[in-house]
């Protein structure tokens, strides 16, 4: 084989490898991204999975958990400080967004985002965030992270805590893969079509839906602590039945 023939064969081989590589990239199956930032800090000691949806981490039913306020904290890793965990909440946006998720849940009195001021100078960790939620009298704490390892996909992972017992109640996960994602420059306005083509918005919508389903199941299983009459509502004397019309009004009527 001449030198010219060798060059032609090498060029054809490179083209075939390139074509096959592109084809495989377009048709590859969805694989969950790597562990999100701070996931190990979200669920200390809890066995979690990356399956879509939610999974209960405690078999027993809660008692007196609802009604409750929910503290929410979105965590990330700082690129400027050796990957240290940071809070990425925007109270002016997240407060309205999260409260609208549960506006039809009567057992959820309020949802509020946690920020750095709530930690009193402490580091961002599950333990410190639980203490902050307890100081604010929240019954539940939702910690979650967001991961975007590629342009066309997004993943959200979270853990729902019982603040009083500091137990992880459930693990929640949402993944999205968009075949024709919207360009970053076009994400200025949040429109209906945008929500279907933006991997982040799709993942957020799924995550919020899973959190709602998880809370609904917790509410169904939750046992009320008020199993008897409320203290102070039992009179110390016999209660007479209501008389209608009352004797007092009848007496006044007769006097006229």
Select the highest-mean-pLDDT range: 23-27, 92-96, 215-219: 215-219
- DSSP secondary structure string for all residues of 141-187: EEEEEEE--STTEEEEEEEEEETTTTEEEEEEEEEEE-SSPPPGGG-
pLDDT band at 208 (very low <50, low <70, confident <90, very high): very high
Element (H, E) at 76: strand 68-77
Percent of the chain exceeding pLDDT 90 equals 34
pLDDT value at residue 65: 93
pLDDT of 32 over the 70 cut: no
CA distance 92 to 115: 11
34-93 tens-digit pLDDT? 444 455 556 555 555 567 899 898 888 899 999 999 999 998 877 777 767 889 988 889
Calpha distance 198→124 (Å, rounded): 29
Distant-in-sequence, close-in-space partners of 199: CB < 8 Å, separation ≥ 6: 148, 151, 152, 153, 154, 176, 177, 178, 181
Which domains, and CATH codes, for the chain? 39-55+65-221 (3.40.50)
Average pLDDT over residues 19-27: 39
Angstrom distance (rounded) from CA 42 to CA 84: 14
Q: How many CA atoms lie within 13 A of 46 on its CB side?
A: 26
Structure confidence at residue 51 (pLDDT): 77
pTM over 0.75: no
Q: In this predicted model, what pLDDT tens digit does every residue of 111-165 receive, in sequence order?
A: 999 999 999 889 888 889 999 999 999 999 999 988 766 667 888 889 999 999 9
Best mean pLDDT range from 29-33, 42-46, 118-122, 190-194 = 118-122
Sorting pLDDT into bands at 50, 70 and 90, what band is 224?
confident
């Amino acid at each position: 084989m001449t030198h010219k023939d060798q060059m032609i064969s090498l060029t054809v081989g490179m083209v075939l490898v390139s074509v096959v590589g592109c084809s495989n990239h377009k048709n590859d199956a969805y694989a969950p991204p790597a562990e999100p930032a701070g996931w190990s800090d979200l669920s200390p000691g809890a066995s979690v999975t990356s399956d879509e949806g939610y999974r209960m981490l405690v078999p027993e039913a809660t008692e007196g958990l609802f009604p409750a306020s929910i503290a929410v904290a979105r965590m990330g890793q700082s690129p400027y400080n050796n990957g240290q965990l940071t809070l990425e909440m925007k109270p002016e946006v997240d407060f309205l967004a999260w409260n609208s998720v549960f506006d039809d849940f009567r057992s959820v009195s309020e949802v509020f985002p946690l920020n750095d001021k709530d930690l009193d100078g402490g580091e961002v960790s599950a333990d410190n965030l639980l203490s902050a939620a307890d100081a604010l009298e929240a019954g539940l704490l939702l910690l979650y992270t967001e991961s975007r390892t590629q342009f066309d996909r997004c993943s959200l992972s979270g853990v729902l805590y019982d603040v009083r017992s500091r137990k992880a109640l459930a693990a929640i996960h949402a993944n999205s893969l968009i075949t024709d994602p919207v360009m970053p420059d076009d994400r200025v306005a949040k429109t209906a079509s945008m929500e279907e083509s933006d991997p982040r918005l799709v993942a957020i919508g799924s995550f919020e839906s899973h959190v709602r389903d998880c809370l609904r199941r917790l509410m169904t299983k939750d046992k009320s602590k008020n199993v008897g009459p409320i203290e102070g509502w039992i009179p110390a004397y016999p209660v007479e039945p209501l008389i209608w019309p009352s004797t007092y009004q009848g007496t006044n009527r007769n006097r006229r």
